[in-house]
Chain A
């Protein structure tokens, strides 16, 4: 199964833009890139998914270069409530979680 690599943790301040980069060098042709957010003692929540180029929704943007070997989740103007673990996953059939990035937003 293709693996993803992302930073273990990141710190930011309220109002800043946060970019979390995920590496997936062995991504397969059929893989979609998907990001989930998880708060403590809750289930993960789907944020965004994409195949190539850029995808934007009301929560985040996802940037994927042409070679698709990495992707960047962009969270605009974060608030304290964005403190969570963010998972980058490659989705072909079953959803397998990697270690995730713990984002700490400070006041």
Chain B
């Protein structure tokens, strides 16, 4: 298995909702990442997990809460989002935090209404 799987592919949520994005990989990678991408912009790094521990938080608002339950899973919990948070959320993994060649998932298209 050489893929990063993200679910759901599309999500519409209200500003008072709580939802979660899920990311899964079975490549034995020990580093996992969340990126946010707005239309026609490059991906922006949000969080880095290394060996299931949060390594980097790029000053992301607390309405985004990451979680890494085990080495294969990465979640992003969403609460009280704003319409400007609508974007493509991408998950990626690599063998370790310093390894090259990230594998990205296809993303979750999030719309906040």
Tell whether B92 is near chain A: CB-to-CB under 8 Å: yes
Instruction: Report the separation of the CA atoms of residues A46 and B93 in the bound assembly, to the nearest whole angstrom.
Output: 12
Tell whether A16 is near chain B: CB-to-CB under 8 Å: no
B interface bracket (residues with beta carbon within 8 Å of A): 20 to 34
Are A87 and B42 neighbours in the complex by a CB distance under 8 Å?
yes
Residue of A41, A45, A99 most packed against chain B (CB within 10 A): A41
Tell whether B22 is near chain A: CB-to-CB under 8 Å: no
Partner of B102, one of A42, A46, A98, A99: A46
Are B106 and A97 neighbours in the complex by a CB distance under 8 Å?
no
- Chain B residues with Cβ below 8 Å from A46 are 100-103
Partner of A97, one of B42, B48, B101, B105: B42
B binding-site residues for A, Cβ under 8 Å: 4, 33, 42-45, 48, 56, 88, 90-92, 97-98, 100-107, 109
Sample 16 A-B pairs with CB under 8 A, ordered by A number.
Answer: A34-B100, A41-B107, A42-B106, A44-B43, A44-B90, A46-B101, A49-B101, A87-B42, A93-B98, A94-B45, A95-B33, A95-B45, A95-B102, A96-B45, A97-B44, A98-B42
A binding-site residues for B, Cβ under 8 Å: 32, 34, 41-46, 49, 87, 91, 93-100
